[in-house]
């Protein structure tokens, strides 16, 4: 199993996909074409999304082929050298993936060792469910079930505090609600500028910021890039 699960596509003040592109290149190695799943896009077209990703992937010599242009999306996944799933709205993404049979297809290909890259919503759908997304449920998928490539849940774009003047729940309080209802599941609060790389049974945090770990009955704790994360696997 090979996964690169990225918290966010763009750091503040930087160009789109600029900060993770070198890690993406290292992860893909000799792969020179990827199948892109753009279904998290809502306010812009799938064609626009594909072109946006292709512009950055041009820098590393990788061609981006979008699944929305394929006559048989499941076959495209089965034949892909690698799959990339972009961010956007997680509910829109998983609904379309479910409708096209891509959840099961990806689950099988990932188990075979096909490289998988996702950012934001694309990282959410690698988890058992999408229930730790930050997104509004603008559409209703058949279920919250996702690929389940990892056993834990990810909360991308994890924030430590609320904006000034906002009296609602913090992100930590929201996750504490989740683990109270799902006491056997770890949640990884993946801060922006960070990513998780899975190679077989090995899990590694990449980035200059720690990751916050939540589990029911335990105090939230911070883990760093050089820490042992095998407990999540």
Q: Is residue 199 part of a domain?
A: yes
Average pLDDT over residues 81-107: 98
Q: Is 59 helix (H, G, I), strand (E, B) or coil?
A: helix
pLDDT at 117 over 80: yes
Q: Is residue 35 part of a domain?
A: yes
What's the pTM? 0.96
Q: Is residue 56 part of a domain?
A: yes
E strand or H helix that includes residue 106: helix 102-111
Percentage of the chain surpassing pLDDT 70? 100
Q: Is residue 53 part of a domain?
A: yes
Q: Is residue 46 part of a domain?
A: yes
pLDDT at 222 over 90: yes
- Give phi and psi for 84, each to the nearest 5: -120, 130
Residue 79 CB partners (closer than 8 Å, separation 6+): none
> Annotated catalytic residue: which of 7, 66, 68, 135?
135
Q: Is residue 158 part of a domain?
A: no
Q: What confidence score (pLDDT) does residue 193 get?
A: 96
230 catalytically annotated: no
Whole-number Å distance between alpha carbons of 172 and 161: 8
Cβ atoms of 197 and 27 within 8 Å: the answer is yes
> Annotated catalytic residue: which of 7, 9, 120, 123?
120
Question: What CATH code is carried by the domain that includes residue 20?
Answer: 3.40.50.880
Domain that holds residue 120: 2-149+190-209+224-232
Q: How confident is the model at residue 62 (pLDDT cuts 50, 70, 90)?
A: very high
pLDDT digits (tens, 9 = 90+) for 124-183: 999 999 999 999 999 999 999 999 999 999 999 999 877 777 777 899 999 999 999 999
pLDDT digits (tens, 9 = 90+) for 15-44: 999 999 999 999 999 999 999 999 999 999
**Average pLDDT along the chain:** 96
Domain count for the chain: 1
135 catalytically annotated: yes
Task: Enumerate the β-bridge partners of residue 117.
Answer: 4, 84
Instruction: Give the CA angle between residues 58, 60, 61 to the nearest 5°.
Output: 65
> Annotated catalytic residue: which of 157, 201, 226, 230?
157
216 catalytically annotated: no
Q: What confidence score (pLDDT) does residue 26 get?
A: 98
The encoded tokens of residue 167 equal 């009296």
Q: Is residue 217 part of a domain?
A: no
Q: Is residue 67 part of a domain?
A: yes
């Amino acid at each position: 199993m090979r996964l690169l699960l990225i918290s966010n596509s763009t750091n503040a003040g930087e160009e789109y996909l600029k900060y993770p592109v070198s890690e993406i290149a290292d992860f893909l190695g000799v792969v020179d074409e990827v199948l892109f799943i753009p279904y998290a896009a809502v306010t812009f077209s799938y064609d626009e999304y594909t072109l946006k990703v292709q512009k950055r992937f041009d820098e590393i010599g990788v061609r981006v082929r979008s699944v929305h242009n394929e006559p048989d999306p499941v076959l495209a996944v089965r034949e892909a050298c690698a799959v990339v799933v972009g961010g956007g709205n997680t509910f829109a993404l998983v609904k379309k993936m479910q409708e096209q049979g891509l959840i099961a297809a990806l689950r099988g290909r990932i188990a075979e060792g096909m490289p998988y890259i996702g950012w934001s919503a694309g990282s959410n759908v690698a988890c058992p469910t999408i229930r730790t997304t930050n997104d509004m449920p603008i559409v209703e998928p058949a279920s919250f079930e996702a690929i389940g490539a990892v056993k834990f849940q990810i909360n991308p774009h994890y924030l430590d505090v609320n904006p000034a003047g906002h009296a609602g729940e913090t992100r930590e309080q929201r996750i504490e609600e989740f683990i109270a209802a799902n006491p056997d599941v770890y949640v990884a609060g993946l801060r922006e500028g960070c990513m998780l790389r899975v190679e077989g049974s090995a899990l590694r945090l990449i980035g200059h910021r720690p990751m916050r770990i939540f589990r029911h009955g335990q105090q939230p704790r911070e883990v760093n890039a050089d820490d042992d994360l095998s407990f999540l696997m």
